[in-house]
């Protein structure tokens, strides 16, 4: 007969089970999510539990890792949230009998939270509270909150658990995906202290890292006043036909399980890739092993003078130092297809010779296939000496790729970033391609600011901070004007330092826009696209999203006839002359590589 879980914790090592999803796949029940088998194949789930118990597990986890409503929505199973969780507990209790503890497994929501994503942390907490309510009502002995990468989300899960059942035992496990340098710092122990302060019974880690890295984490966080758990993955998987294949042998996990207990772990098990064979080997290896009796000393890492110097952020761009002090000018270069970018280099050189502050390099505008904006920006700066404003969209790369690109851009001495959500792939060269859009422009602005502050999107330190000027885009002619201003406010709050606008053709529209922006106190660089003729005006107005050309301007271009290009320059120059005292600069988009047109507009505007 099992004793209350908190009493059992005081008596020594407890073996937990291994992966449920891995075992169901071995049974050829790999349907996603694994939780669906609580309803479709309960006997198979019960068989998995019994195999882990026979292997030596004293705790089995309910098959509910993905059982919260937000996660189940992705499988269109949110209407089955109650049934999936209740049946999972019933299945586990049948297998456990009176001797094995049933832990209600609660995993993360699988969502990206504001401001990077659209989900509110309160929504996640509500989903956890609902799921935990079902688990507790059905009679779990404890809760295991596991595989939480986001510490704020883990906090929400802990708070939800305590609101549902203030006295239920809780094992709270964070996943550490950080690299070795971070794990060797004080970061893990700070995390453990924070989780412990939330009033949980056991603090630990699971998944992502294998047993060797897990051992390093545990060594750095052990102290006598915390009960630790560890459930490492069975190494790093290989993807074969869409299935993750793990390679760590049971004996290998068992060797480190013994070392983990000797380093201070009380609750020991395994995660992704593990099977009853792994748990059996672990149970045998830790039998009779004493948990560490004293804490491992953690020495704070000290930096050498060289490292300290390297931590100092590099200097900011020339463009960033000029904004607000003098009128700046940027010109968007026309990016051709293929490898020949000699026209881009020639255009950049021409702009440099004519006093333009920087050139804008687009990132697959209109979802057309073009060379990387980062590569072109680097070559432009290297060949001509003029600074580039590098456009980065969220369309083509996930959050890993975006941050990798930004770090690479900084290493290549690119300092000016214009953050853009980007046009959907379906309108471009490859309509069958998938748009990524992990985040929108607001989220990417927040990420760039984080890099400037020395950490990535998850708050992990990156060592040396970046020093990007963070630009964002705006459309003063937006149909949903209030929404445009509200989104701009979120961009500025997230870290945007300067606003580049879509092309403007009407002073009243722009005046309204500037008035609405006054509370934000952020410099604006006005977009100027000189018209080449009436057809050009009609095309931009009717076929290019975000550009609105008033009827009177289009009529004027029609009357201009063959003089359309000259009239277009005059219109742009007059508008710029009228607003130049109210803006930080001009962003010129001359059509068809006519960079002399940009220079002409500036001359006529008296700039």
Model confidence over 239-288: pLDDT tens digits?
555 555 666 789 989 999 999 999 999 999 999 889 999 999 999 999 99
Q: How many CA within 13 A on the CB side of residue 482?
A: 0
Structure tokens at 549: 């050309």
For the chain, the domains span: 5-286, 322-604
443 in Cβ contact with 115 (< 8 Å): yes
The pLDDT of residue 45 is above 70:
yes
pLDDT given at position 474: 96
Question: Region 129-158: what's the mean pLDDT?
Answer: 96
**Sign of the C-alpha dihedral computed for residues 347, 349, 355 and 357 taken in this order:** positive
The CATH number for 5-286, chosen from 3.20.20.330, 3.60.15.10, 3.30.70.20, 3.20.20.480, is: 3.20.20.330
Q: Which of 16-25, 141-150, 305-314 has the lowest mean pLDDT?
A: 305-314
pLDDT band at 228 (very low <50, low <70, confident <90, very high): very high
pLDDT given at position 519: 95
pLDDT given at position 239: 53
Answer with the residue of higher pLDDT: 6 or 224.
6
pLDDT in tens, 319-335: 999 999 999 999 999 99
pLDDT in tens, 51-85: 999 999 999 999 999 999 999 999 999 999 999 99
Question: Region 142-168: what's the mean pLDDT?
Answer: 96
Q: Which DSSP category does 287 fall into?
A: T
The helix (run of H) or strand (run of E) holding residue 330 is strand 328-332
Q: Which of 37-46, 87-96, 295-304 has the lowest mean pLDDT?
A: 295-304
Q: Which of 80-89, 133-142, 292-301 has the lowest mean pLDDT?
A: 292-301
206 in Cβ contact with 173 (< 8 Å): yes
The whole-angstrom separation of Cα 381 and Cα 317 is: 12
Tell me the fold of 322-604. Answer: TIM Barrel (3.20.20)
Q: Which DSSP category does 343 fall into?
A: H
The whole-angstrom separation of Cα 362 and Cα 529 is: 15
The whole-angstrom separation of Cα 265 and Cα 267 is: 6
Structure tokens at 516: 């609405």
322-604 has the same fold as 5-286 = yes
pLDDT given at position 310: 46
pLDDT given at position 182: 53
The whole-angstrom separation of Cα 340 and Cα 239 is: 37
The whole-angstrom separation of Cα 374 and Cα 378 is: 6
Tell me which residue has tokens 């890739």.
273
Count of beta carbons in the 10 Å neighbourhood of residue 521: 7
Question: Region 346-354: what's the mean pLDDT?
Answer: 98
């Amino acid at each position: 007969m099992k004793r209350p879980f908190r009493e059992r914790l005081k008596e020594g090592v407890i073996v937990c089970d291994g992966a449920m999803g891995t075992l169901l796949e071995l049974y050829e029940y790999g349907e996603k999510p694994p939780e669906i088998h609580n309803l479709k194949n309960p006997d198979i789930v019960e068989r998995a539990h019994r195999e882990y118990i026979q292997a030596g597990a004293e705790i089995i986890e309910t098959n509910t890792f993905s059982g919260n409503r937000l996660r189940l929505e992705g499988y269109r199973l949110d209407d089955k949230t109650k049934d999936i969780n209740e049946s999972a507990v019933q299945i586990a209790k049948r297998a456990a009998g009176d001797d094995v503890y049933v832990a209600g497994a609660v995993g993360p929501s699988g969502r990206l939270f504001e401001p990077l994503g659209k989900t509110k942390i309160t929504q996640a907490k509500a989903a956890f509270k609902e799921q935990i309510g079902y688990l507790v009502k059905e009679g779990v002995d404890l809760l295991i909150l596991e595989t939480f990468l986001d510490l704020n989300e883990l906090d929400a899960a802990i708070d939800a658990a305590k609101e549902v059942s203030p006295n239920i035992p809780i094992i709270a496990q964070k996943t550490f995906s950080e690299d070795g340098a971070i794990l060797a710092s004080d970061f893990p122990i700070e995390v453990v202290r924070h989780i412990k302060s939330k009033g949980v019974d056991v603090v630990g880690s699971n998944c992502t890292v294998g047993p060797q890295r897990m051992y390093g984490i545990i060594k750095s966080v052990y102290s006598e006043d915390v009960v630790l758990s560890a459930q490492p993955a069975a190494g790093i998987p290989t993807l074969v036909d869409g299935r993750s294949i793990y390679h760590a042998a049971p004996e290998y996990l068992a060797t480190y399980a013994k070392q983990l207990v000797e380093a201070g772990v009380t609750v020991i098990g395994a995660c992704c890739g593990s099977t009853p064979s792994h748990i059996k080997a672990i149970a045998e290896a830790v039998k009779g092993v004493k948990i560490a009796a004293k804490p491992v000393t953690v020495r704070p890492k000290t930096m050498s003078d060289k490292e300290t110097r390297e931590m100092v952020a590099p200097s900011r761009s020339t463009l960033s130092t000029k904004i607000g002090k003098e009128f700046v000018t940027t010109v968007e270069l026309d990016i051709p297809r293929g490898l020949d970018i000699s026209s881009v280099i020639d255009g950049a050189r021409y702009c440099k010779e004519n006093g333009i502050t920087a050139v804008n390099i687009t990132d697959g505008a209109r979802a057309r296939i073009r060379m990387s904006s980062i590569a072109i920006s680097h070559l432009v700066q290297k060949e001509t000496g003029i600074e580039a404003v590098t456009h980065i969209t969220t369309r083509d790369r996930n959050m890993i790729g975006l941050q990798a690109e930004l770090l690479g851009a900084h290493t290549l001495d690119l300092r000016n970033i214009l953050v853009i959500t980007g046009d959907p792939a379906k309108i471009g060269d490859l309509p069958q391609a998938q748009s990524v859009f992990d985040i929108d422009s607001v989220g990417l602005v927040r990420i760039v600011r984080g890099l400037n502050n020395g950490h990535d999107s998850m708050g992990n330190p990156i060592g040396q901070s970046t020093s990007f000027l963070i630009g964002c885009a705006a459309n003063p002619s937006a149909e949903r004007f209030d929404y445009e201003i509200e989104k701009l406010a979120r961009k500025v709050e997230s870290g945007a330092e300067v606003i580049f606008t879509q092309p403007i053709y009407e002073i009243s529209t722009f005046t309204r826009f500037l008035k609405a922006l006054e509370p934000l106190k952020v410099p604006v660089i006005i977009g100027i696209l000189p018209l080449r003729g009436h057809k050009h005006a009609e095309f931009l107005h009717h076929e290019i999203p975000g550009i609105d050309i008033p009827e009177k301007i289009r009529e004027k271009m029609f009357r201009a006839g063959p003089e359309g290009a000259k009239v277009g320059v005059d219109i742009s120059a007059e508008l710029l002359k009228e607003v130049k005292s109210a803006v930080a600069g001009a962003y010129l988009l001359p059509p068809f590589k006519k960079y002399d047109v940009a220079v002409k507009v500036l001359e006529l505007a008296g700039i």
